[in-house]
Homo-oligomer: A and B are copies of this chain.
Amino acid sequence: MDHAMMETAAETATRLETLQTPCLVLDADKMERNIARLRHRLDGLGVSLRPHLKTAKSVEVARRVMTTPQGPATVSTLKEAEQFAAAGVRDIVYAVGITPSKLGRVQALRAQGVDLVVILDTVEQARMVAAASLASGHPIPAMIEIDCDGHRSGVAPGNAARLVEIGEALSAGGALRGVMTHAGDSYKGGGDAAQQLYAEAERAAVVEAATLLRKAGLSCPIVSVGSTPTAHHAADLTGVTEVRAGVFVFFDLVMAGIGICRVDDIALSVMATVIGHQREKGWIITDGGWMSLSRDRGTAKQAVDQGYGLVCDLDGALYPDIIVADANQEHGILAVRPRSGAMLPDLAVGDRVRILPNHACATGAQHEAYHVVRGSSHQVDARWSRFGGW
């Protein structure tokens, strides 16, 4: 009996009503629909999916979102790379700029047969990776990060001199794998037309970079883009070989706020228990504070501010316009959204609610496990461990 089956069996008799709160609940039906939706989309565009596992940090979720048990996959930490490698994943991109002190762990994973690829955007990093590749006799493949929208890291796609210098430095160590970018600005939203422009800008930037490298006589087999909003809006991915995306597996209120999903698609919630009331203020107090919800207030700048989350009943059905209006470490304050005219539900001490998160990556990270349900069932089918750290 494998680990997953043991975990499932151990919770056969568990229901949402008997779990300790706060805890993380995952609706597997919604998750599966979210995965199928993007996979269908990318199949139609002729590109492969390299899911970003930083959202899930769970072997069980990874197995359901990856194309094969061996990958491909994207990670944000070497801890993720090591955990997924231990579970059999063999094709991994570590999508945060590499530093000298991390190369040892990268080389150790590669020596175990994991095709772990690093990313970088400076000549210094390229020389360091090439030198380590030559010194060990085992190339460390690297992708050059391209900055498609000024959001964060990366070489400007038109900066041919720097791009080629990095490419040549990597090639000298047999370490050039390709180019990659991330349309971070797409999280700002703007509607379908804006998202199509973000997606095309993402594609164009990385294809331009690949073209520049190839014109300089360098090999650039992988051309990688990725963000959940652009992945759901790209109309054409000519020249792109793979798409990275993470939060689509669960979705969240930030994604719903910019129209990438419906609120009803959100697969993740935090179950909390009512611990008191301040009736004259219209407050219900729960044990779901920011420690379980995270401090993420990603909807604060959106058209509709969801506070620390939207409140559902134990079936996962929304209480219209009831939000977590404020939160302390282990206290959440449920209240009616200002000016909505909604009524506070009649909840007693001990009653339970499920809170949809602003940001699935941040909220998930506060928890040690997913408690898996399907639809409105209160039956907990499994407990899937998750991990944190670096």
Q: Interface digits, A1-44 against B, CB 8 Å rule (1 contact, 0 not)?
A: 00000000000000000101111000000000000000000000
Q: A124 contacts B333, CB within 8 Å?
A: no
Q: Is the CB of A295 within 8 A of B294?
A: yes
Once A21-B101, A99-B274, A295-B294 are accepted as A-B contacts, the answer to whether A124 and B349 lie under 8 Å apart by CB is yes
Which residues of B lie under 8 Å from residue A330 when comparing CB positions? 54, 76-77, 96
Q: Give the distance in Å from the alpha carbon of A18 to the alpha carbon of B368 in the complex.
A: 28
Distance in angstroms between the alpha carbons of A348 and B331 in the assembled complex: 42
Minimum CB–CB distance for A224 against chain B, Å: 17
Nearest B residue to A349, CB-CB: B124
Bound Cα distance from A122 to B285, whole angstroms? 12
**Complex contact B328–A152 (CB within 8 A):** yes
Chain B contacts for A368, CB-based, 8 A: 388-389
| A248 at interface, CB cutoff 8 A | no
Task: Give Cα A98–Cα B330 distance, bound, in whole angstroms.
Answer: 12
Determine how close the nearest CB of chain B comes to the CB of A247; give it in whole angstroms: 10
A184 partner residues in chain B, CB cutoff 8 A:
328
- Which of A18, A125, A147 has the largest number of chain B CB atoms within 10 A? A125
**CB–CB A22/B390 < 8 A:** yes
Residue of B nearest to A124 (CB): B349
B297 near A331 with CB under 8 A, answer no
Docked pose: A277 CA to B76 CA in angstroms: 19
Contacts of A290 in B (CB 8 A): 296, 362
Copies of this chain, tallied across the complex: 2
**A20-B390, A96-B330, A99-B275 known, 15 other contacts, Cβ within 8 Å:** A22-B390, A23-B390, A77-B330, A97-B349, A100-B349, A101-B350, A122-B276, A122-B277, A152-B285, A152-B331, A152-B333, A153-B285, A295-B295, A297-B297, A329-B361
Please list 24 pairs of residues, one from A and one from B, whose beta carbons are closer than 8 Å in the complex, sorted by A's number.
A20-B78, A20-B101, A20-B105, A21-B390, A54-B330, A76-B329, A96-B275, A96-B287, A96-B330, A98-B275, A99-B274, A99-B275, A99-B287, A100-B350, A121-B276, A124-B348, A147-B278, A152-B285, A152-B328, A153-B276, A184-B328, A295-B297, A366-B388, A368-B389
Across chains A and B, which 9 residue pairs bring their CB atoms closest together, nearest first? A97-B275, A295-B295, A295-B296, A76-B330, A96-B330, A100-B350, A99-B273, A97-B276, A153-B276
